[in-house]
A = this chain, B = another copy of it.
Amino acid sequence: MVGGGPDAFIGEVHRQAARMNGGIDIVAGNFSRHGKKSQETGRMLLLDPARIYSSYEQLAEKERRLPEGIRADFVSIVTPNNSHFPIAKTLLASGFHVMCEKPMTFTAGEARELQKLVASSGKVFGLMHNYTGYPMVKLARDMVRGGDLGEIRKIVIQYPQGWLASPVERKGSVQARWRTDPAQSGAAGALGDIGTHCENLSEYVTGLRITHVCADITTFVKGRRLDDDANCFLRFENGARGILHVSQIAIGEENNLAIWIYGAKKSLEWHQENPNSLHVKEPDGPVRIYRRGNPYVARLSTAAARATRLPFGHPEGFIEAFANVYRNFTDTIRASAALKKADPLARDFPDVNDGLRGMLFIDTVLESARNAEKWTPMLS
């Protein structure tokens, strides 16, 4: 692992999620750019002190020399956005599979280059768009792509949060500080952090590509240098219309990611904070609530069944979705190690192409926000 030191949040989530799966253990890491902090975290994790590194270059260099079976099989990158690319590049070049936090890179240019590097490396590259790991998201995807909803007409997706409604980055919040700092986060704030989740989830579920964007983005908190609110109209390749809105100043909202998909025959609705249910609606019949873990769900979606760990009624949450992305990623690595083609169900995890797509989305939205014209075509 690179990143995930004492002040981090997502690194520990990666560790818990990966561990849940079994057969995955953390063996080495560079947890901070500060050697001492890196040591501190590594020791807390009971790592061999020799494998707690003070830089990612050192990690790459030393680990690659260890014998197979001992050396790390893959490395997770959980640092701020600006360092994803150089770290990933180094790791791929050193022969490691890579799991990377989103947004994938600092710029779209880096993302394009990374796409090529992954292709030429032959390594497995995963991107942590964790929300695609929820079983009911997979059921939604299989229903939509299987045609149950008919032609898709309208998609509404939102991700309001409230934690940045005041300038907490100036009051000691480490999380807030790097996320609102253009030098670490890149050109986008809320848009990059949570807007890309919306872009990814809407394309993942529908299989439709966004072709045009019309954006209105705002920074509400004075002195903040990145957007904390972003609203977009979307057009999809089949003519479907979309609304995507995210915010970090929406007081009282936690992680209220939700998606509504309206087709010509049916519609559906899913809420991340109530992830074990999927609401499906039809023109002249009762609303149906599909509930995770039931046999009827398994009959409709093998992917949902595979992503299910507990029987119905035992609520699953964020960590299982996260762990599901890891499981598919590592199953694909194992297949690759065995020179086998991975099960298509295992290859169901976000990858470098999704990462590039996210970076292009950010750039398109930012361009649209500057444009006086209504519609900006999606960059490619």
Q: Give the distance in Å from the alpha carbon of A256 to the alpha carbon of B315 in the complex.
A: 11
Least Cβ–Cβ distance between A57 and chain B, in angstroms? 27
Q: Are A247 and B154 in contact (CB under 8 A)?
A: yes
A342 in the interface, Cβ–Cβ < 8 Å?
Answer: no
Q: How far is the CB of A23 from chain B (nearest CB, A)?
A: 6
Expressed in whole angstroms, the Cα–Cα distance for A330 and B19 within the complex equals: 17
Interface pair B312/A319, CB less than 8 Å apart:
no
Contact B243 A243 (CB under 8 A): yes
Q: Is the CB of B310 within 8 A of A249?
A: no
Check B22 against A156 for contact (C-beta < 8 Å): no
**Residue contact A162 to B320, C-beta cutoff 8 Å:** no
| Separation of A264 and B295 alpha carbons in the complex (Å) | 19
A16 to chain B: closest residue by CB = B20
The verdict on A218 contacting chain B, using a C-beta distance below 8 Å, is yes
Give the oligomeric copy count: 4
A251 and B229 contact, CB distance less than 8 A: no
Could you tell me if B251 and A281 are in contact, using CB atoms closer than 8 angstroms?
yes
Q: Which of A211-228 contact B (CB under 8 A)?
A: 214, 216, 218, 220
For the complex, what is the distance from the CA of A27 to the CA of B310, rounded to whole Å?
23
Query: Who on chain B is nearest to A281 by CB?
Result: B252
In Å, the complex CA distance between A266 and B153 comes to 34
In the bound complex, CA of A22 to CA of B45 (Å): 8
Decide if B283 touches A267 in the complex (CB within 8 Å). no
A154 and B262 contact, CB distance less than 8 A: no
25 pairs, A vs B, C-beta closer than 8 Å:
A19-B19, A19-B22, A154-B229, A154-B247, A165-B262, A165-B283, A214-B214, A216-B233, A220-B264, A250-B260, A251-B266, A252-B279, A254-B291, A254-B312, A255-B313, A273-B315, A274-B315, A285-B296, A286-B294, A286-B296, A287-B288, A314-B317, A316-B317, A372-B373, A372-B374
Q: Which 6 A-B pairs have the closest CB atoms?
A: A252-B281, A254-B313, A255-B313, A315-B317, A314-B318, A317-B317
